[in-house]
């Protein structure tokens, strides 16, 4: 099987809300998937289920064919998954460099005993500095992560995700809150990440950017997949169009 990520009948309910109602799809290695849908469609919930931050009521999640439904987030990361949070969460009291070094040392931190036996960080520091330069954060290495402006924190999230050498990267609204220049820089970075062979799943409201960079679109509405395929074909589908108009999303996307 060449699917790096596969969902089978995933469902979760919060009280009275069926947030995800039986979602199945497979993402092939090297693909660039846009996960879109109106507000409250269940995109973040689905990302959180894939990442292991939420347990689904039903269904399975597989990474490169391995069932990880019962695994915690850290274990999934070690199977090649990386994610950025919709709301940024750097280690505020660490330097920007250390935030990335910690990710780059994931081989040492697999368990506390192993971590105790290793001191040297030189290689991880070099690697982290490279990644920071790549996402456009060169020169900020020594700053406290908590002191960065939002645009840079969003890039730090991407840098940390790259540090764990992922096969699949889940990006939850990496452009939200960024101004036009920052956003286009961030898009460039994401395109470079994909060019390096990393599979990307991107949740984003900015449809213009999504149409530009994604190779496949999956549209969620009320916790169900209502469209899946080539971006232009999907957007031309009346069912998709109705869902967006119904939720007033066309205006949002064009804003």
Partner 1 sequence: MSAYEISIISIIGINVILAVSLNMISGFCGQISLGHGAFFGAGAYAAALTMVGCGSVPLAIVAALITGSILGVIVGFASLRVRTDFLAVTTIGVNFLFVGFVRKQAWLGGEMGISGIPATGLGAAGNMTMILLFAAATIALSLYISRSWMGFAFRAVGQDEGAAATLGINSGAYKLAAFGIGTALAGLAGGLYAFFTQFITADAFDFIFSVMLMAMVVIGGIGSTWGVVVAAAGLTLLPEAIRFVNDYRLLVFGGLLVLVIRLAPGGLAAMFQNVFLRTRKP
Ligand X SMILES: Nc1ncnc2c1ncn2[C@@H]1O[C@H](COP(=O)(O)OP(=O)(O)OP(=O)(O)O)[C@@H](O)[C@H]1O
For residue 58, give the 3-state DSSP assignment: strand
Q: Give the whole-angstrom CA distance, residue 32 versus residue 211.
A: 11
Is residue 161 a contact residue for partner 1 (CB under 8 A)?
yes
Number of residues in the chain: 255
Is residue 142 a contact residue for partner 1 (CB under 8 A)?
no
Helix residue ranges, H only, the chain: 43-51, 73-77, 96-104, 112-116, 122-134, 150-163, 180-195, 207-213, 231-236, 238-246, 249-254
Query: For residues 3-62, which are near Mg ion according to CB under 5 A?
Result: 44
Choose the one of Mg ion, ligand X, partner 1, none that binds residue 102, judging by a C-beta under 5 to 8 angstroms depending on kind. partner 1
Is residue 195 a contact residue for partner 1 (CB under 8 A)?
no
Q: Give the whole-angstrom CA distance, residue 153 versus residue 169.
A: 17
Query: For residues 37-76, which are near partner 1 according to CB under 8 A?
Result: 51, 53, 72-75
Is residue 131 a contact residue for ligand X (CB under 6 A)?
no
Q: How many helices (H) and strands (E) does the chain have?
A: 11, 10
One character per residue 2-41, x = contact with ligand X (rule: CB under 6 A): ------------x--x-x-----------------x-xxx
Is residue 103 a contact residue for partner 1 (CB under 8 A)?
yes
What residue ranges bind partner 1 (CB under 8 A)? 51, 53, 72-75, 77-78, 82-83, 85, 89-94, 98, 101-103, 105-106, 108-119, 121, 160-161, 163-164
């Amino acid at each position: 099987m060449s699917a790096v990520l596969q969902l089978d009948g995933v469902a979760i309910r919060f009280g009275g809300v069926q947030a995800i109602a039986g979602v199945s799809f497979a993402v092939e290695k090297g693909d660039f998937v846009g996960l879109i849908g109106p507000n409250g469609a269940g995109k973040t919930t689905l990302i959180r289920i894939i990442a292991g931050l939420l347990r689904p009521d039903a269904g399975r999640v597989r990474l490169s064919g391995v069932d990880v439904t019962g695994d915690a987030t850290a274990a999934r990361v070690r199977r090649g998954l990386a994610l950025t949070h919709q709301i940024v969460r750097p280690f505020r009291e660490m330097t920007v460099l250390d935030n990335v070094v910690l990710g780059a040392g994931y081989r040492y931190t697999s368990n506390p005993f192993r971590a105790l036996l290793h001191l040297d960080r030189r290689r991880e520091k070099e690697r982290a500095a490279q990644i920071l330069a790549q996402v456009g954060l060169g020169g900020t290495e020594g700053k406290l992560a908590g002191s960065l402006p939002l645009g840079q924190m969003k890039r730090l999230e991407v840098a940390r995700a790259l540090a764990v050498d992922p096969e699949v990267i889940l990006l939850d609204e990496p452009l939200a809150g960024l101004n036009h220049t920052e956003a286009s820089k961030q898009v460039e970075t994401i395109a470079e990440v994909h060019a390096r062979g990393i599979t990307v799943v991107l949740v984003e409201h900015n449809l213009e950017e999504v149409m530009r960079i994604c190779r496949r679109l999956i549209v969620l509405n009320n916790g169900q997949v209502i469209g899946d395929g080539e971006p232009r074909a999907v957007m031309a589908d009346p069912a998709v169009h109705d869902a967006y108009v119904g939720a007033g999303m066309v205006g949002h996307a064009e804003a």
